[in-house]
Amino acid sequence: MRQALREIEVETRGRGLVEITGRAADFVGAQGMANGLLTLFCRHTSASLLIQENADPDVRADLETFFSRIAPEGAGLYIHDVEGPDDMPAHIRAALTQTQLAVPVAGGRMLLGTWQGVYLYEHRRAPSRRRVALHLMGA
Amino acid sequence: MRQALREIEVETRGRGLVEITGRAADFVGAQGMANGLLTLFCRHTSASLLIQENADPDVRADLETFFSRIAPEGAGLYIHDVEGPDDMPAHIRAALTQTQLAVPVAGGRMLLGTWQGVYLYEHRRAPSRRRVALHLMGA
Amino acid sequence: MRQALREIEVETRGRGLVEITGRAADFVGAQGMANGLLTLFCRHTSASLLIQENADPDVRADLETFFSRIAPEGAGLYIHDVEGPDDMPAHIRAALTQTQLAVPVAGGRMLLGTWQGVYLYEHRRAPSRRRVALHLMGA
């Protein structure tokens, strides 16, 4: 048993889901481990991780609508507003989704279901660069 | 240190929580590892995993009411409706709960609290068969 | 590769976030492993874990306001009320946040981002003692 660690940077274009399935798969494939556990960790509190449907882009649009409704921006809604009206909603969205995901690996590949993709979820309005740590432990 | 991997199928009866604590415990017990980390991974985007109270079934009923309120079905609410009115709410529920859970193992048993059960949460109306990967790493 | 396990008790003062970053870091530091994976597991269903901003305390106040709004207490809202009006909202809050967190470790330290803190989130009104299992696997 051994482990491998890498940090990747994900460029975002403001609010929305950015698929990183391919980059995670590349990392896993490059380590030459048949079986193991991949952990992805988002090093931010206004972006997060999510496994979601990778087929119909409407799903991502509807998710965005849902989170905008449940954690709206708005004057007077939050005490914490010094970093802009989209910052506190971003923290709430991050709390409701995941900072970290773990995916079992078999035959050198993540054990994702057919329709599952791995996404970084940017919650701020502005484009950004987000750091995600990838950790693989296996044999 | 070594690892073990198995996939189980969970039959659901439509929306609601199906306890899988016993099946996870059986898997852990069969591997003969005293200590380790069990990871459960749900290979779907319209079902998810959750650790919840295992005592009073009313808790599960109230959870269901909560998620039905927060992510309602409804004509015109979602763009993504080709798979039925319960599909997009199912993706939202999955985003708000967990695709993956990790539970430390000690003395050959999951370190669950007294009132904790491990559940698959079916989010679609129709009964289904759901695949959950179980991965144990330990010694 | 080897592993270490410890259970810590976290004293809470009723609803709100209690930072446990330092205690997790102490555990990691004491194991003398350069690289690995730390898993934190909350052994309760009315408290949970969350990685959140550690800078502005207003963020924690706004989070609390959000969860009070989305999962309110109230006569007649829930079937499950035998443990008090704050118990079922606590289970909902726990379902929406995390029972378990995994954080990669490098150079003997958790790979947290600059503004990330690890918190136990107490969801009941009364002060309590909460048990969190810490599991480290690495080399």
State the nearest Cα–Cα gap between B14 and chain C, in angstroms.
19
The shortest CB-CB distance from A61 to any of B45, B79, B98 is to B79
Check if A48 contacts B (Cβ < 8 Å): no
Tell me what percent of the residues of chain A surpass a pLDDT of 90: 97
Cα–Cα–Cα angle for C137, C138, C139, rounded to 5 degrees: 150
Name subunits touching B (3+ CB pairs < 8 A).
A, C
What number is the ipTM of this complex? 0.97
Q: Contact at 8 Å (CB) between A80 and A72? A: no
State the nearest Cα–Cα gap between B2 and chain C, in angstroms.
10
The C-alpha atoms of residue C43 and residue C56 are separated, in whole angstroms, by: 28
pLDDT tens-digit readout, A15-30? 999 999 999 999 999 9
Kindly list the residues from chain B whose CB atom is less than 8 angstroms away from the CB atom of residue C2: 1, 139
Tell me what percent of the residues of chain A surpass a pLDDT of 70: 100
Q: What residues are paired with C96 via a beta bridge?
A: none
The shortest CB-CB distance from C43 to any of B53, B101, B111 is to B111
Question: How confident is residue C132, by pLDDT bands cut at 50, 70 and 90?
Answer: very high
Q: Which of A61, A130, A59 is nearest to A94 (CA)?
A: A130
Mean pLDDT, rounded, of chain C:
97
What per-residue confidence (pLDDT) applies to B75?
Answer: 80
What per-residue confidence (pLDDT) applies to B81?
Answer: 92
Most confident of A81-85, B81-85, C27-31: C27-31
Check if B138 contacts C (Cβ < 8 Å): yes
Q: What residues are paired with A53 via a beta bridge?
A: A116
What per-residue confidence (pLDDT) applies to C75?
Answer: 80
What per-residue confidence (pLDDT) applies to C101?
Answer: 98
pLDDT tens-digit readout, B113-122? 999 999 999 9
Among C6, C8, C50, C100, pick the best mutation site for testing chain B contact (most B Cβ within 10 A): C100
Check if C53 contacts A (Cβ < 8 Å): yes
B121 φ, ψ to 5°?
A: -110, 105
pLDDT tens-digit readout, A97-112? 999 999 999 999 999 9
Mean pLDDT, rounded, of chain B:
97
Check if A4 contacts C (Cβ < 8 Å): no
pLDDT tens-digit readout, B46-103? 999 999 999 999 999 999 999 999 999 988 899 999 999 999 999 999 999 999 999 9
**Residue A28 is encoded by which pair of tokens?**
């896993």
CB pair distance less than 8 Å for A36 and B3: yes
* Residue in the structure block whose two tokens are 């990871």: B39
Is C107 exposed, middle or buried, given 0-12, 13-18 or 19+ CB atoms closer than 10 A? exposed
CB pair distance less than 8 Å for A52 and B95: yes
The shortest CB-CB distance from A80 to any of C50, C62, C97 is to C62
Q: Contact at 8 Å (CB) between B132 and B20? A: yes
pLDDT value at C118 more than 90: yes
Check if A36 contacts B (Cβ < 8 Å): yes
Check if C43 contacts B (Cβ < 8 Å): yes
What per-residue confidence (pLDDT) applies to B11?
Answer: 98
Among B50, B60, B111, pick the best mutation site for testing chain C contact (most C Cβ within 10 A): B111
CB pair distance less than 8 Å for C92 and B56: no
CB pair distance less than 8 Å for A66 and B92: yes
State the nearest Cα–Cα gap between B103 and chain A, in angstroms.
12
Kindly write down the DSSP assignment for every residue of B2-39, as one continuous string.
EEEEEEEEEEE-SSEEEE-HHHHHHHHHHTT-SSEEEE
Torsion B24-C138-A45-A127 (CA) sign: negative
State the nearest Cα–Cα gap between C58 and chain A, in angstroms.
5
Task: Give C68's DSSP letter.
Answer: H
Residue of A nearest to C97 (CA): A96
What per-residue confidence (pLDDT) applies to B76?
Answer: 87
Q: Radius of gyration over alpha carbons of chain A, in Å?
A: 16
The C-alpha atoms of residue B6 and residue A136 are separated, in whole angstroms, by: 19
The upper half-sphere exposure of residue C17, i.e. CA atoms within 13 Å in the direction of its Cβ, equals: 26
Range C53-57 contact pairs with CB under 8 angstroms and sequence separation of 24 or more: C53/A45, C53/A91, C53/C115, C53/C116, C53/C117, C54/C19, C54/C21, C54/C115, C54/C116, C54/C117, C55/C115, C56/A80, C56/A82
What per-residue confidence (pLDDT) applies to A75?
Answer: 80
Check if C80 contacts B (Cβ < 8 Å): yes
Task: Give A40's DSSP letter.
Answer: E
Q: Residue B111: CB partners within 8 Å, gap ≥ 6?
A: B103, B104, B105, C7, C41, C43, C133
Q: What residues are paired with A31 via a beta bridge?
A: none
The C-alpha atoms of residue C125 and residue C127 are separated, in whole angstroms, by: 7
Q: Which of A31-35, B76-80, C73-77 has the lowest mean pLDDT?
A: C73-77
